[in-house]
Amino acid sequence: MTRKLLSGLVAVCLLVVAGTALAWDAAAEKNAEAAIAEFKRADPSIDAFFKNAHGYAIFPEITKGAVGIGGAGGDGVVYEQGAAVGTSSMSQVTIGLQLGGQTYREAIFFKDKLALENFKRGNFELAAGASAVAVKSGASKTADYANGVAIFTMAEGGLMFEASIGGQKFTYQPK
């Protein structure tokens, strides 16, 4: 009797923990929506990317720091045709002449379904040579996709001197 009761309690605890671990993070989606509003406020023409892209990943806050060797990381929300479909984590390691720390937002737009599916397979990487457009009024008017992807960043705070090389790596977790 005690063994059955104990087994039942363990099963219930595992279900609760698993359910919590797999639960959607509504706060993360709310932060992503606020970041989208900030991108649109800073550059109203970026709205064309939000409307025309098959999908996008929004990272409301990426934190970066370095003293010679640097690192950055942040979590975001992935959207497909305007609806949140999952989450993503970004990590970056850089090496070179660099000093300081900063936080910034990042938006990655996927031109078509193929580009988004490539990202959703996980282990997506942006090479050291990938260029991002710094968001300011009108900047997105001349921006375009490269290999089906367009990247925009928006500084939030901090000061960073940097002449370094490194790439970004992303993971994807469906909703």
As a whole number of angstroms, the distance between CA 174 and CA 91 comes to 18
In one-letter notation, the amino acid at residue 88 is S
Tokens of 116: 């988004």
pLDDT per residue as tens digits for the range 3-26: 443 333 333 333 333 333 456 789
Give the 3-state secondary structure of residue 134: strand
For position 121, what pLDDT does the model report?
Answer: 92
For position 136, what pLDDT does the model report?
Answer: 64
As a whole number of angstroms, the distance between CA 53 and CA 112 comes to 7
pLDDT per residue as tens digits for the range 103-115: 999 999 999 999 9
Tokens of 129: 């040579």
Whether the per-residue pLDDT at 172 is higher than 80: the answer is: yes
Q: 81 — alpha (psi -120 to 50), left (phi > 0) or beta?
A: left
Report the predicted TM-score, pTM, of the whole model to 2 decimal places.
0.81
As a whole number of angstroms, the distance between CA 2 and CA 10 comes to 12
Nearest partner of 98 among 165, 163, 21, 16, judged by Cα = 163
Tokens of 96: 């070179």
> Nearest-5° angle of CA 138, CA 141, CA 144?
135
As a whole number of angstroms, the distance between CA 34 and CA 30 comes to 6
